[in-house]
Chains A and B, each alone.
Chain A
Amino acid sequence: MQTARMFLDASGSAPMTNRTLDAFHAGLADGWADPARLHTESRRARQLVDGAREAIAEILGSRPEQTHLTHSPHVGIERVIAGVDAARRGRERIVAAAIERDAVLHAAEYISGGHLTTVAVDAAGHVDPDALLRELEVPDVSLLAVQHGNHEIGTVQRLDRVADLAAVARVPLVVDATATIGHVEAPEHWDALVANPADWGGPAGLGVVALRPQTRWLPVWPEGDDWAPGGISVPAALAAAVALQERAETLEQTSTRLAGLIDTIRARAATWPGVDVVGDPVERLPHVLTFSCLYVDGEALLSRLDRAGIAVGSGSACTTSTLEPSRVLASIGALSHGNVRLGLHPGVTEADVDRLLALLPRVIAELREEAGAPELA
């Protein structure tokens, strides 16, 4: 019997709903013209993009005119860090949480000319406020980057506290919310924010950047359009907005339900020998979970689950092209190998989770046996 595929890697991308697909098609049919021109067809395309931007801004809690669509979250991260840094001339250092995603750390490292300082996180992934305060007390910091929630371990940062420290030090706070928008309420405290439509079930190839009215930002490229030179995909913008609205309409029910499913998986995985469940069990994203399995090759685990019809993610060194261990997992002292990252989209059911929980311990045991690993107590 052919069993249905089960997608449990909804982190950074998620299956699109019919409403989102319809919006994308409508965008293709009605928004094909270049929004930058003056005729009626262009005006219609422009109206669609403007409407999308307004809808997204409303959910982010930002001003539409300071909510910018860009070509990807990565481009958004690079441009926002470069522009905020440029407006803080004379301050050479960028401070970032050690748990930031690579896109943030790489951009910060490059833009600051190697003057990136990372602030340690505790075992649950929270930024150490004392260490952060020590860094911000030195008056050479151009900006602080702290994420809203983590895409691998799910921990949600205490941004109100972080923002207080940044405000006292008068350092702008750049918040990477690419793993959180569409899953939990948008954070309140930030000077610049980046979001990822693909993460909330919109199309890939789009990023969102929001700035506060008081945030100083300077363009660092000569093009006329600071955020999306060459223009943005109208259908993608429209579909992203509709996908986010759909998530927002059912945010509370969906997050409560998915958080319950993750709680079930957390509790069960914690009873498996040699399995380490990471991240904050309470202050976390509702839909994300990572656990690591001793003596297991993450890539083999992924392939075996995939053959059984289940798609999961991994933060394992062995599965990345760079062969570098995940910095996120390294920052909290978790194993670099044998990691399973789950991302539940709203369509995931209790039966799906049961199927996963029935299969996983068996696959882990098989792989350990094949590798000749010792018995675990």
Chain B
Amino acid sequence: MDVRRDDAAVGDGGPVTVDATGMLCPLPIIELAKAARGRAPGTELTVVCTDLAARIDVPAWARMTGHEFVGETETDGGAVALTVRLR
């Protein structure tokens, strides 16, 4: 997974997908937060989850950390893809 440890801007601002399938709460949120670190405002991050609690947690995470929840779509494998836009 493309996760860097420094605080310099990472990525090119294009959309990023985090695979959190098979993970139980709160791990998908932790992976999402790690992937968000250092990225430019406006970047869209999508986390793909099989633990459906993430449908509640991702919007709540966005509210608590000042980002914007964009929406969710279901994927073929019964997982859910949740997207946030960084601010």
Contact = CB atoms under 8 A, between A and B. Distances in A.
Interface string A74-88: 000000000000000
B64 A337 contact: no
Given A276-B64, A336-B60, A371-B26, 9 more contacts: A294-B33, A317-B51, A334-B60, A336-B56, A371-B27, A373-B26, A373-B33, A374-B33, A374-B34
A295 B30 contact: yes
B26 A325 contact: no
Contacts of A296: 26
A317 B26 CA distance: 10
A274 B25 CA distance: 16
7 contacts: A274-B65, A317-B51, A325-B53, A330-B56, A335-B26, A337-B25, A372-B30
A274 B60 contact: no
Interface of A: 274, 276, 292, 294-297, 316-318, 325, 329-330, 333-338, 371-374
A158 B25 CA distance: 34
B69 to A, nearest CB: 10
Contacts of A276: 60, 64
B25 A318 contact: yes
Given A274-B64, A318-B24, A335-B61, A371 B53 contact: no
B53 A295 contact: no
Contacts of B25: 297, 316-318, 325, 336-337
- The A interface is mostly helix, strand or loop, or mixed, namely loop
Nearest to A292: B60
A321 B82 CA distance: 25
Interface residues of B, number: 20
Nearest to A276: B64
Nearest to A275: B64
A294 B56 contact: no
Given A330-B56, A374-B34, A337 B63 contact: no
B60 A374 contact: no
Given A318-B24, A325-B53, A371-B27, A333 B37 contact: no
B29 interface: yes
A292 B63 CA distance: 13
Closest 9 CB pairs of A and B: A337-B25, A336-B53, A337-B26, A336-B56, A317-B53, A335-B60, A325-B53, A374-B33, A373-B30
A325 B56 contact: yes
Contacts of A372: 30, 34
B38 to A, nearest CB: 10
A337 B30 contact: no
Nearest to B59: A333
B60 A371 contact: no
A333 B34 contact: no
Nearest to B33: A374
Interface string B1-45: 000000000000000000000001111011001100100000000
Contacts of B34: 372, 374
A102 B24 CA distance: 22
B21 to A, nearest CB: 16
